[in-house]
């Protein structure tokens, strides 16, 4: 699989494939809310991807296999020093290291950016995600009723 897998920054022309991926992934897990993406148009997604691509504080990396998006990692800035992090991989490709590749790439990008901290919120009942975040140095900063807020300096 690694011969065909490509990781790169998302570009505006990825909008259609990214939306298709998000709709598919939202049906595979309870950790993505389909209502959040249901009404997003391809044009709106293209515009959003262009803004992300041109930002020094935001990033979106995609994993592409056979011209299809099968995963992504996202940094969304909350201020000039911190960004919220998220990663999603198509369930068909879980346990193949794709999330690790995406996390490594996005954290490398963050180290070269003006950002100093990356954080995320993860459901407590998602031990696989918690494990991989801990593997990459994220530590629990806040425990809520159903989630953990984890952070990492970059």
Return the HEC string of the chain: CCCCCEEEECCHHHHHHHHHHHHHHHHHCCCCCHHHCCCCCHHHHHHHHHHHHCCCCCEEEEEEECCEEEEEEEEEECCCCEEEEEEEECHHHCCCCHHHHHHHHHHHHHHHCCCCEEEEEEECCCHHHHHHHHHCCCEEEEECCCEEEEEEEC
Distance of alpha carbon 94 from alpha carbon 85, whole angstroms: 19
CATH domain 6-114 topology: Aminopeptidase (3.40.630)
Q: What is the pLDDT tens value at each position of the chain, 154 positions in all?
A: 445 899 999 999 999 999 999 888 888 876 555 456 677 889 999 999 999 999 999 999 999 999 999 999 999 999 989 999 999 999 999 999 999 999 999 999 999 999 999 999 999 999 989 999 999 999 999 999 999 999 999 9
Q: Do residues 99 and 90 lie in contact, with contact meaning Cβ atoms separated by under 8 Å?
A: no
Task: List the domain boundaries for the chain.
Answer: 6-114
Distances (CA, A) of 113 to 77, 86, 145: 11, 17, 33
Distance of alpha carbon 132 from alpha carbon 118, whole angstroms: 15
What pLDDT is stored for residue 30 in this prediction? 64
Supply 103's token pair. Answer: 């996390």
What pLDDT is stored for residue 32 in this prediction? 58
């Amino acid at each position: 699989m690694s011969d065909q897998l490509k990781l790169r920054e998302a570009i505006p022309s990825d909008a259609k494939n990214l939306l298709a991926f998000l709709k598919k992934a939202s049906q595979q897990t309870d950790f993505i809310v389909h209502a959040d993406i249901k009404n997003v148009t391809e044009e709106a997604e293209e515009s959003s991807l262009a803004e992300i691509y041109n930002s020094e504080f935001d990033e979106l990396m995609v994993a592409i296999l056979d011209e299809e998006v099968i995963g992504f990692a996202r940094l969304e800035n909350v201020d000039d020093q911190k960004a919220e992090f998220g990663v999603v991989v198509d369930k068909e490709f879980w346990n193949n290291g794709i999330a690790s590749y995406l996390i490594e790439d996005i954290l490398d990008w963050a180290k070269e950016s003006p950002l100093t901290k990356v954080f995320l919120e993860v459901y407590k009942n998602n031990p696989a995600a918690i494990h991989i975040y801990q593997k990459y140095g994220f530590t629990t900063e806040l425990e809520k009723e159903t989630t953990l807020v984890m952070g990492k300096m970059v």
